[in-house]
Amino acid sequence: MSLKDQVQSCLGPLVVAVSECQGDLSVEVSRENIKAALSKLKEDPGLSFDFLSDLFGVDNSELYKKTAAKPAKKAEAETAPEEPPKPQEFPPRFEVIYLLLSLKTNKRLQVKVRVPEENPVVDSVVSLFKAATWPEREAYDMYGIRFNGHPDLRRLLMWEGFPAYPLRKDYPLEGRGEERHLIYD
């Protein structure tokens, strides 16, 4: 039985989508079920994904903008320009990705959760994996994704009171001069 079938039979209806890229399996789970899914993958005797190697956020907004711009240009060239371009439906802006490793079988698995911009809240998995504490703080610091049930959700890299989330794609690379009060006061 392949890893894909094993994971699918383990998670059952919790799986939203499965994809495989260059031998790496990726499973998408809905936001409400992330804790249940990870604990199932951890407890399953055949899989036993008991090691969280990393957890991070992703901002897809620029990607969606690019894909939205491309087909619109094609449509203009082919059809009459009177038709207004239809607004495309995109999945939620943010993702949280969990990289799991099974120390028993030496297999790796990527679990993905999509998080909307309006309400960026995910359940914390610190009760399952203690290793999630700092990565969840980092994702909160960089993307503003809040983790429900995290014991100590503070900024990890930027200083207390930093007013933005710097890895969001709409944040300028060189910042907005937030350090002024830090340095000159």
Closer CB to other proteins, residue 65 or residue 176? 176
Least distance to other proteins, CB of residue 141, Å: 11
C-alpha–C-alpha distance, residues 12 and 84, integer Å: 41
Closer CB to other proteins, residue 152 or residue 160? 160
Half-sphere exposure of 20 (CA within 13 A, CB side): 8
Helix locations, the chain, DSSP H: 3-11, 34-43, 61-78, 133-143, 180-184
| Residue 182 touching other proteins (CB under 8 A) | yes
The first and second tokens of residue 63, run together, are 């990607």
108-115 and 94-101 strand pairing: antiparallel
Least distance to other proteins, CB of residue 169, Å: 13
Closer CB to other proteins, residue 121 or residue 157? 157
Mark 158-177 with x for binding to other proteins (rule: CB under 8 A) and - for no binding: xx------x----xxxxxx-
The first and second tokens of residue 117, run together, are 């911009």
Among the candidate windows 4-12, 96-104, 107-115, 154-162, which touches other proteins by CB under 8 A? 154-162
The residue count for binding other proteins (CB under 8 A) is 14
Best CA proximity match to 27, nearest among 51, 45, 9: 9
Other C-beta atoms lying within 10 Å of the C-beta of residue 82: 5
Least distance to other proteins, CB of residue 92, Å: 25
Least distance to other proteins, CB of residue 151, Å: 23
Among the candidate windows 2-10, 95-103, 114-122, 156-164, which touches other proteins by CB under 8 A? 156-164
If you ran DSSP here, which 8-state letter would residue 125 be given?
-
Interface with other proteins by CB under 8 A: which residues? Answer: 157-159, 166, 171-176, 178-179, 182-183
